[in-house]
């Protein structure tokens, strides 16, 4: 579980597992917009795969 605290007065608002959360602090009235830092990263394998294929293609050209 992750502690959710107000960014303005640092009051503890909740404990939660979340990806995105909007919560209003009941003490100071500040809206806290939170997003989890552990979001899955985008895959970059397509770029690496394309480079690898280009290398194989240029090396496998038959000589006459």
Write out the residues near Zn ion by the rule CB under 5 A. Answer: 6, 8-9, 11, 25, 27-28, 30
Contact call for residues 30 and 46 (beta carbons, < 8 A): no
Between 12 and 63, name the residue whose CB sits nearer to Zn ion.
Answer: 12
Judged by beta carbon, residue 2 or residue 11, the one nearer Zn ion is: 11
Minimum distance between the CB of residue 10 and Zn ion, rounded to whole angstroms? 7
Task: Determine whether 32 is exposed, middle or buried from the number of CB atoms within 10 Å of its CB (0-12, 13-18, 19+).
Answer: middle
Smallest separation, CB 24 to Zn ion (Å) = 9
């Amino acid at each position: 579980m992750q502690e959710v605290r107000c960014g303005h007065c640092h009051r503890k608002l909740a404990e939660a597992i979340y990806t995105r959360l909007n919560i209003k602090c009941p003490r100071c009235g500040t809206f806290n917009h939170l997003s989890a830092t552990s979001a899955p990263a985008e895959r970059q394998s397509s770029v690496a795969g394309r480079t690898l294929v280009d290398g194989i293609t240029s090396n496998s050209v038959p000589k006459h």
